[in-house]
């Protein structure tokens, strides 16, 4: 019998496979530094790993894949690196759109969009529109995303409903918070993977990952591939998920 998460809108693994895998893609800078290359080279090689993982996911039984692409804290990085990241984002959205549609992938972007240039916003909108009917892998990329900000925004929305008299504060529950999150239409992640050996979740899906299994891979993201993903899932499948029960 499959264990069920206590959070609303979630489900557990099926036949030992996670349905929803979330990944913190870490290690691009260290990969480049170890080779005497600029950080940009690490980000570009990391984009190749995105393709490898996206293509491997359906064969591993994954239906939902969420990737932490750019955090709300990443704006603190040097402007030159941010410019390179935005250029890479433009390139990815343009070059991968046809490939995503070909593989029946549905792409969506979560995170605040107010700091992106209009051309990036247009590319995101086009990618979401062109892949919106995809019934295969549901790919979510978190851009300018921070989980605390997401929760704050949800609280504000709930407060507006209370102020408008459409929501009784005494009845507010987890489902009310969940329906105001950017991930409202997604199941909660079954497993959260972080690459590069770091062991923290860095303000990523704090609400949604309450009962996710954590897997920390020593592999730097630019070297991460489908086999590494399979290895992480093999680790996950050794876990017994109790969701607070016995």
The catalytic site residues sit at 26, 74
- Bind-site residues for substrate: 27-31, 39, 43, 71-73, 75, 77, 194, 200-202
User: In sequence order, which residues have a C-beta less than 8 Å from that of residue 196 and are 6 or more positions away?
Assistant: 26, 27, 30, 217, 218, 219, 220, 221
Candidates 169, 139, 174; CA nearest to 65 is 139
- Bind-site residues: 26-31, 39, 43, 71-73, 75, 77, 194, 200-202, 213
Q: What's the rounded Cα separation, in Å, for the pair 209 and 36?
A: 36
Candidates 58, 64, 30, 8; CA nearest to 189 is 64
Per DSSP, the three-state class of 227 is helix
What tokens were used for 60? 């591993």
Candidates 204, 182, 61, 197; CA nearest to 128 is 182
Candidates 223, 163, 211, 154; CA nearest to 13 is 211
Candidates 5, 69, 21, 28; CA nearest to 230 is 21
- Bind-site residues for Mg(2+): 26, 213
What tokens were used for 177? 């918070």
């Amino acid at each position: 019998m499959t264990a069920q998460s206590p959070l609303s809108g979630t489900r557990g693994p099926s036949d030992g496979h996670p349905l929803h895998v979330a990944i913190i893609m870490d290690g691009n800078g260290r990969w480049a530094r170890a080779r005497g290359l600029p950080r940009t080279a690490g980000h570009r090689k990391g984009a190749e790993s995105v393709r490898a993982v996206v293509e491997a996911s359906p064969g591993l039984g994954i239906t939902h894949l969420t990737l932490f692409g750019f955090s709300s804290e990443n704006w603190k990085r040097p402007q030159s690196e941010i410019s390179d990241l935005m250029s890479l984002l433009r390139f990815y959205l343009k070059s991968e759109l046809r490939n995503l549609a070909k593989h029946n992938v549905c792409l969506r972007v979560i995170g605040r969009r107010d700091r992106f240039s209009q051309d990036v916003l247009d590319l995101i909108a086009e990618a979401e529109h062109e892949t919106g009917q995809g019934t295969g892998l549901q790919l979510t990329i978190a851009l300018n995303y921070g989980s605390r900000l997401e929760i704050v925004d949800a609280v504000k929305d709930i407060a507006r409903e209370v102020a408008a008299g459409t929501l009784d504060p005494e009845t507010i529950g987890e489902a009310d918070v969940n329906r105001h999150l950017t991930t409202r239409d997604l199941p909660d992640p079954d497993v959260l993977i972080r690459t590069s050996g770091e062991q923290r979740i860095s303000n990523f899906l704090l609400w949604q990952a309450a009962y996710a299994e954590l897997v920390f891979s020593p592999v730097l993201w630019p070297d991460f591939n489908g086999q590494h993903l399979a290895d992480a899932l093999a680790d996950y499948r050794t876990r017994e998920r109790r969701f607070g029960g016995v």
